[in-house]
Homo-oligomer: A and B are copies of this chain.
């Protein structure tokens, strides 16, 4: 059993991480930290399992209540970092330096340079472990779709990923200050976009040749002024094995199919939505087409993600779906899309 602290007390910490930690048998919640005492106490009060976690905060400054005090506690073995994007790297470094295992929220950092610096500063050869959360890699619907892609076999012919939604003025995530006036590239596209890249990459990586995204060309636009700097990206991608497809995400578009990832091979196609996977395939060349559809309940994937983090601690090795390198690749692709668009659609290799 590892005692874990939640660093960050925002919407996602309260709605997702708290219940996930409480549901994970190998973890117990020992402390919570937030910038403000009010937020930290609200999160602690929402805990329903066992003794209430201790609260730590910066404001008002109080002796023995700082993040440093929390990290100095010997009983805390790990932390889950769920703070604003710009705040995370310093907290991740501080926690690792204090010897705590870390699960930090995606994106790994605001840009590739910051992410690389963070990776370089952490030795993978020794403990503590550092894992980066990406709940899409733990969604049952994505796991199942990836398994079907793998079973199907064949060469990738094309693929697409499309997600369109309209962020309302009353959207709870939009109404967090750090998202309203984003101090990082892409705004919602950075924050939300890495999920969709991760989902697509997970399916492409399940193909026989294990494709990954290697090149992008993108146009972006701003449809809803409140979502500045940009809220929509339309792009074409090429994999390292030469397959080509599209990637389209908009947080400012209504009236369009919500979310779909499709990978097509010479043997069949797998298409997923948040609650269903449709597979079409032939078992032998010239054979009849078969199709099936499996339905899923909507889920965030955070519970299995936190369970996997708990299991990594027991094993002493990060789950491959939570490696910093995977998170860096998701971010690198997203950054390449934004940079390509800034350059008028110039094709860019993903480093």
Contact = CB atoms under 8 A, between A and B. Distances in A.
A236 B158 contact: no
Contacts of A217: 217, 219, 236, 345, 347
Contact of A269 (B218, B255, B347): B255
Number of copies: 2
Contacts of A221: 242-244
Contacts of A236: 217-219, 234-236, 246, 345
A238 interface: yes
Nearest to A243: B221
A252 B347 contact: no
A143 interface: no
A346 interface: yes
A248 interface: yes
A158 B264 contact: no
Given A236-B234, A244-B234, A248-B246, A158 B256 contact: yes
Main secondary structure of the interface of A (DSSP, over half): strand
A219 B236 CA distance: 7
Interface in A183-242: 215, 217-221, 223, 232, 234-236, 238, 242
Interface in A239-268: 242-246, 248, 250, 252-256, 262, 264-266, 268
A36 interface: no
A317 B158 CA distance: 44
A253 B281 CA distance: 13
B253 A264 contact: yes
Contacts of A280: 255
Contacts of A60: none
A158 B234 contact: yes
Given A158-B164, A217-B345, A347-B345, A245 B253 contact: no
Contacts of A316: none
Interface in A95-134: none
A320 interface: no
A255 B268 contact: yes
A211 to B, nearest CB: 13
B215 A345 contact: yes
A344 B345 contact: no
Contacts of A2: none
B234 A255 contact: no
A314 to B, nearest CB: 41
Nearest to A233: B244
A250 B346 contact: no
Contacts of A346: 346-347
Nearest to A152: B255
A159 to B, nearest CB: 9
A219 B238 contact: yes
9 contacts: A157-B252, A158-B164, A158-B253, A221-B243, A234-B236, A236-B246, A255-B269, A255-B280, A256-B262
Interface of A: 157-158, 160, 164, 215, 217-221, 223, 232, 234-236, 238, 242-246, 248, 250, 252-256, 262, 264-266, 268-269, 280-281, 289, 344-347
